[in-house]
Structure 1
Amino acid sequence: MFRKSIGKKNLVGLDIGSSSVKAIELQGKPGNLSLASLGYEALQPDSVVDGQIMELN
């Protein structure tokens, strides 16, 4: 999902919700950032319960 960025410092954001995990990668300089990539993956029901990530088999 994410490109290799030799010599660059990119920012990554991760949101783990009750029904999905979302990730973004930002590139650029402060004040001039752009979206480089994003990803979204749905979670199985009950993967996150009361804010806790559950171990699923």
Structure 2
Amino acid sequence: SNELARSVLGYQPKVTLKEGLSETFAWIKQRGLDRVWLEDESQEEKQTLRLFGRDASRKAA
């Protein structure tokens, strides 16, 4: 709840949480940031971490 921020700071959100998250995920996908590559040091091989339901086999542009 944002009641504390509202009462102390007068904070009023401009969008709902759902709208804000939707806009954030769209921004992330648009920039190709929804895939992360990690190097597994213990096995010395690259592994792709799949985020946001995207195809992990495709590299970011």
TM range (shorter): under 0.3
Q: Name the structure where strand makes up a greater proportion of residues.
A: 1
> Computing the radius of gyration over CA atoms, which structure comes out larger, 1 or 2?
2
**Structure with the greater relative contact order (CA < 8 A, sep ≥ 6): 1 or 2?**
1
When normalised by structure 2's length, the TM-score is 0.25
Quick check: which one's helix share is greater? 2
